[in-house]
Amino acid sequence: MVHSLYSFTEVEAKKASPSTLRDIVKGVLRANDGICYSEMEPYLMPPGVRGSRSFDQHSAVMVLMAHDAEQKGQIATKMADTPTLNHRAIWDILQNVLRGTGFKMRHGRLVGLLEHQKPAEDENGGGQPDID
């Protein structure tokens, strides 16, 4: 049997990969019929609550962290294991999750929902383009 210096599974488990964190954030937002999102929404919508976009974003992250603590505390655990993962990085992940879900964000504020648009039908019925 070959002994290695590192364990692949331990290293992999400690790495806070973005997809894993996005899944954790989604889970926190889904829990308890979306109460976490309901509580953070006023901080996301213009003009906000705290008088500053940065303070509102921090407040939204703190709402997320409070709900994370009520559940398994997975985000806090990842933050403890990863020195570069701070509240600012959590905001980026939260914003990406919201955008990926269908929320329209502009300058760090929630401004609506992304429209699900069907591909535009060609006025000629969608056939092959005319060749001159």
Cα 46 to Cα 34: distance, rounded to the nearest angstrom: 20
Hey, CA dihedral for 101, 102, 107, 109, is it positive or negative? negative
Full pLDDT tens readout for the chain, 132 residues:
666 566 556 655 555 566 689 999 999 999 999 999 999 999 999 999 999 999 999 999 999 999 999 999 999 999 998 888 999 999 999 999 999 999 999 998 999 888 755 555 444 455 455 454
Residue 98 phi, psi dihedral angles, 5° rounding: -60, -45
What's the pTM value of the predicted model, to 2 decimals? 0.74
- Domain ranges in the chain are 14-113
